[in-house]
Amino acid sequence: MQVNVAALVAYLVATFFVCGIPFGKIIARAKGVDIQRVGSGNIGTTNVAREIGKGAAVLTLLFDAGKGALATGLAGAFFPQWVTGGVACDPTGADAWCVGLVMMAAVCGHIFSPFLGFHGGKGIAVGVGSLLGFAWPVGLIELGIFIAIAYLTKRVSAGSITVAGIVGLVLALFYGPNLPQDLIVEAAGLVVVWAHRSNIRKLARGEEKPFSFHKKGDPVAPDDPSVGAGK
């Protein structure tokens, strides 16, 4: 397989910028709230849910997961023509590492959004969306694990950290080992884990808040000293 490096790099750069679009901030702004200045200051679904409500949170989740699914889904469909010289892209193929790089670009674009001074969300929605766009059975397995852990612990971060930390292993167990792809996807998962480092500290100290939705009439106010610092 001969990879068209220029086409691959161009696609990765485009993915980084598209997945850097901060939909959580845009949706919150439409509701009159600067999501980076309330709650945890994060632009992701959990903070939007806590500070604005269900509707805005659902939209944030759909858009964040959707941009990841779009990035890898289009890569899987078009890379044979543009990048891999006619070799079909699938999670068991020799070219699968190329789509793994797309997942990495999607996650990094969201976490290090170029539109927010290279600050952003924590990457779990876009990461699971990326899996659904390319290896949907693994995406569904990861989603199921996430829901189970988040439900049992009442902490979204616990589910997020777990599924991000084991994503390469789950991919390898389901499709069989494909080392280049598995390592790249696991690296993307570890970037997500790194983005949750403050949550890990809070979980270890028993200070992580349980998940909740904002209720109409509740005040919207900062509750974290790092609000406004992009954390």
Q: Is residue 61 part of a domain?
A: yes
Give residue-wise pLDDT tens across range 91-122. 888 888 999 999 999 999 999 999 999 999 99
What CA–CA distances, in Å, run from 220 to 33, 40, 41? 9, 11, 12
Residue 163 lies in a domain: yes
Per-residue pLDDT at 91 = 85
pLDDT more than 90, % of the chain: 78
Mean pLDDT of the chain: 90
Residue 217 is assigned to a structural domain of this protein? no
pLDDT digits 0-9 by tens, 49-95: 999 999 999 999 999 999 999 999 999 888 988 888 766 667 888 88
Q: How far apart, in whole angstroms, are the C-alpha atoms of residue 38 and residue 50? A: 10
In a domain, 219, yes or no: no
The structural domain count of the chain equals: 1
Q: What is the CA radius of gyration of the chain?
A: 18
Is residue 171 included in any domain, yes or no? yes
Domain of residue 156, residue span: 5-205
Match 């078009």 to its residue by tokens: 78
DSSP string, 146-212: HHHHHHHHS-HHHHHHHHHHHHHHHHHHHH---HHHHHHHHHHHHHHHHHTHHHHHHHHHT-PPPP-
Residue 87: its pLDDT value, please? 64
Residue 37: exposure state from Cβ atoms within 10 A (0-12, 13-18, ≥19): middle
220: in domain: no
Residue 1 has pLDDT above 80, yes or no: no
Is the residue at 122 inside a domain?
A: yes
Instruction: Assess if residue 229 is contained within a domain.
Output: no
pLDDT at 217 over 70: no
